[in-house]
């Protein structure tokens, strides 16, 4: 079944909430059964991931709200706001993970060995990693920072649960310190990833300039419209989720009539809409303006 971008966001969020809740119930049950505070804490961590998944759902719901008078270009950037929230929460998870790992090293904490607990935790970690891989694929396919951010939350939980299984497996042994050291390394990675998500989403909100590839693609499409288009410049791209607004200037011959220039500008706007899905506003300038500018430079 093919799904669109909006449905992908809803699907990832809802499936994640259901899976996280189910894993919480299982891990909490076995944590209580074996009187393991560490496993109970890990189950609560898994349940907390449902919060970030809920943020994804809310973010997509707001992002696809129809434009209104206050937001004529829509609410697409709500997804970036959701990504920032998820990135911040990921940094918090990384920090708490680091504190927990450090405390375990300092206190030389060892856990009571239980093969049943190890198996439960390994299955949980495998499920969360599978969920992360699926979310990453959706995030890449639909270019969604919020979905990819949620995927990192799934992966961080999988790693934390896997390290807890390792700690129980090596309980009382020579390598008691492995869990704490690996935890610190992974914590740093999680914080860096969360920071990158925040920076990328913030850059979009602040109006990140289009890439060279995007500019070249726009110029190529515009110049194919008419051989009379002499140059294209002042290209600005404004992204609001799936909705993209483009403004650009084109130089046309000085002796061209106003009606013909308007016709070409309208044609450019139509072609950009059909080929790239962009809503464009074209400003027409006489070719002499380009020569005057070059002379002034």
Average pLDDT, the chain: 87
Q: Are 49 and 18 in contact (CB under 8 A)?
A: no
Q: Report the half-sphere exposure of 22 (CA within 13 A, side-chain side).
A: 10
Instruction: Give the global pTM.
Output: 0.73
Are the beta carbons of 98 and 184 closer than 8 angstroms? Answer: yes
The predicted structure's pLDDT at residue 3: 66
Per-residue confidence (pLDDT) for residue 179, from 0 to 100: 67
Cα distance between residue 241 and residue 257, in whole Å: 37
DSSP letter for each residue of 177-232:
THHHHHHHHHHHHHHHHHHHHHHHHHHHHTTPPPPHHHHHHHHHHHHHH-TT--EE
Look at residue 173 in the predicted model and tell me its pLDDT: 64
Write down the pLDDT at residue 42: 83
Alpha-helical (H) ranges within 142-177 are 145-169
Report the pLDDT value the prediction gives residue 180, as an integer from 0 to 100: 75
Nearest-angstrom CA–CA distance, 236 and 245: 8
Domain annotation for the chain: domains and CATH numbers: 5-205 (1.20.1510.10), 212-296 (3.30.70.1350)
Return the pLDDT at 51: 85
Which residues does the chain have with pLDDT short of 70? 1-3, 109-111, 171-173, 175-176, 179, 289-297
Per the CB < 8 A criterion, the answer to whether 145 and 80 are in contact is yes
Sign of CA pseudo-dihedral 188, 192, 197, 199: positive
- SS3 for 126? helix
**Amino acid 297: pLDDT:** 42
pLDDT digits (tens, 9 = 90+) for 32-72: 888 777 788 788 888 888 888 999 999 899 988 888 888 88
pLDDT in tens, 65-117: 888 888 888 888 888 898 899 889 889 888 888 888 888 788 876 667 788 98
């Amino acid at each position: 079944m093919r799904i669109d971008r909006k449905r992908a966001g809803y699907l990832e969020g809802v499936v994640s909430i259901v899976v996280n809740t189910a894993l919480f119930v299982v891990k909490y049950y076995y944590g209580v059964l074996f009187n393991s505070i560490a496993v109970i804490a890990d189950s609560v961590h898994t349940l907390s991931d449902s919060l970030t998944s809920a943020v994804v759902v809310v973010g997509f719901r707001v992002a696809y709200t129809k434009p209104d008078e206050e937001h004529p270009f829509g609410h697409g950037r709500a997804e970036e706001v959701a990504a920032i929230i998820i990135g911040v929460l990921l940094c918090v998870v990384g920090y708490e993970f680091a504190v927990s790992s450090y405390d375990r090293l300092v206190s030389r904490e060892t856990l009571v060995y239980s093969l049943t607990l190890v198996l439960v935790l390994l299955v949980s970690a495998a499920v969360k990693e599978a969920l992360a891989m699926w979310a990453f694929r959706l995030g890449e396919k639909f270019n969604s920072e919020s979905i990819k951010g949620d995927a990192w939350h799934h992966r961080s939980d999988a790693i934390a649960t896997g390290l807890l299984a390792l700690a129980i497996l090596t309980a009382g042994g020579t390598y008691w310190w492995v869990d704490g050291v690996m935890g610190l390394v992974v914590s740093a990675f999680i914080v860096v990833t969360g920071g990158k998500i925040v920076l990328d989403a913030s850059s979009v909100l602040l109006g990140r300039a289009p890439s060279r590839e995007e500019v070249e693609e726009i110029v190529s499409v515009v110049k194919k419209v008419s051989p009379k288009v002499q140059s294209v410049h002042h290209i600005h791209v404004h992204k609001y989720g799936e909705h993209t607004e483009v403004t650009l200037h084109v130089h046309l011959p000085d002796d061209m009539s106003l009606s013909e220039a308007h016709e070409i500008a309208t044609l450019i706007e139509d072609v950009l809409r059909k080929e790239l899905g962009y809503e464009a506003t074209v400003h027409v300038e006489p070719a002499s303006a380009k020569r005057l500018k070059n002379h002034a430079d």
